[in-house]
Amino acid sequence: MGKIITIEETAAWLKEHDNFLILTHRRPDGDTIGCAGALAEGLQAAGKTAFVLYNPETTPRYSRFVASYWAPEGYEQDHVIVVDTASYSQFPGNGEKYIGAVSLCIDHHPSNPRYAERNCLVDAASCGEVIYELLLNLSGRINAKAAESLYTAVSTDTGCFAFANTTADAHRVAAELIEAGAPHKELNKLLFRTKTRSRILVESMINSGLEFYFDGAVAISLITREMIETAGANEDDLDDIASLPGSVDGVQAGITIRELASKEDCKVSVRTTPPISSNQICARFGGGGHALAAGFSMEKTIPEIKKELLEALKEFFC
């Protein structure tokens, strides 16, 4: 277990060192990608050498924020930094070789076990807010390019400021980023008001197949490979798909079970409302995250996972 350091101490450490490689997590979302892109931009602007490890799961929606920072072939870093990644299990396949060799982790997940040598862990709605404060401490300013990436990070992790994790600080940071040059109108349309036909089709299949338990307090959506293939959907089309079951009136726990590479490889996403804790539910299956949004993966079939979940949920709803 590594030591905890403050944002100010993190900035001081970055000033003293150089040659950084930044890692994002598996199935990267807007927060981890936005943080990586902004941190790389901020470090380069400060005269440092910093690149982002290529993440093959990055979707076209988010690649624009990080593609120019991919590490060139043969790059040898002195220090590995991981952003918005709560555990080793979330490292991308090509990043697993850095397990046990992380100099710095910057994160906002309460479940983070302090796996890095240094851990800057801050209670915030998004990791983007942490990187924002860090860059201000590093150089005193946020340029327009970093602001664009950070607005993406903050807005996506708060559901365009509609999720229950949204705070006044998240709004304040977003306002500062807009003033720094983040094209918020373009980003809001791209990220929240544009859907492909494939996304609409997937949503229709999910909604028609929703299952309700515990007098409607729990809604479970099942996403099979067949559904994804029928809709012709890609990862971009499935972004934030886990929020759908929780949007139903009366649902306190919205759960999505999605097949990944095979029928015995699934990702489970849990979204809850107080007092139900997503983190507590997922911790029972080796996962984690936030109080109201967490997840885990299992190498079991959808029916097997659903059976185990429903048994575990009895403690919370019976």
State the burial class of residue 315 (Cβ atoms within 10 Å of its Cβ: 0-12, 13-18, 19+).
exposed
pLDDT for the residue numbered 87: 93
pLDDT for the residue numbered 37: 98
In this structure, the strands spanning 218-223 and 253-259 are: parallel
pLDDT for the residue numbered 1: 86
pLDDT for the residue numbered 164: 87
In this structure, the strands spanning 50-52 and 218-223 are: unpaired
Task: Give one DSSP letter per residue of 89-128, joined into a string.
Answer: GGS-GGGGGGTT--SEEEE--TT----SSEEEE---S-HH
- Residues 184, 186, 188, CA angle at the centre, nearest 5°? 65
Q: What are phi and psi of 234, to 5 degrees?
A: -120, -175
Determine the length of the chain: 318
- pTM passes above 0.85: yes
pLDDT for the residue numbered 23: 98
Q: CATH number of the domain at 3-192, please?
A: 3.90.1640.10
- Residues 159, 50, 188, CA angle at the centre, nearest 5°? 20
Q: For residue 24, give the H/E element and its range.
A: none
pLDDT for the residue numbered 263: 87
Q: CATH number of the domain at 197-317, please?
A: 3.10.310.30
**Region at 227 (left for phi over 0; alpha for psi -120 to 50; beta for the rest):** alpha
pLDDT for the residue numbered 318: 83
43: nearest Cα among 132, 135, 115? 135
Question: How far is CA 152 from its chain centroid?
Answer: 11
Question: How far is CA 195 from its chain centroid?
Answer: 20
Domains of the chain, by residue range, sit at 3-192, 197-317
Q: CA 7 to CA 233: how far, in whole Å?
A: 39
* Binned average pLDDT, 10 residues per bin, the chain of 318 residues: 96 98 96 98 98 96 96 97 95 96 97 96 97 97 97 97 94 98 97 94 96 98 96 91 95 97 91 94 91 92 97 93
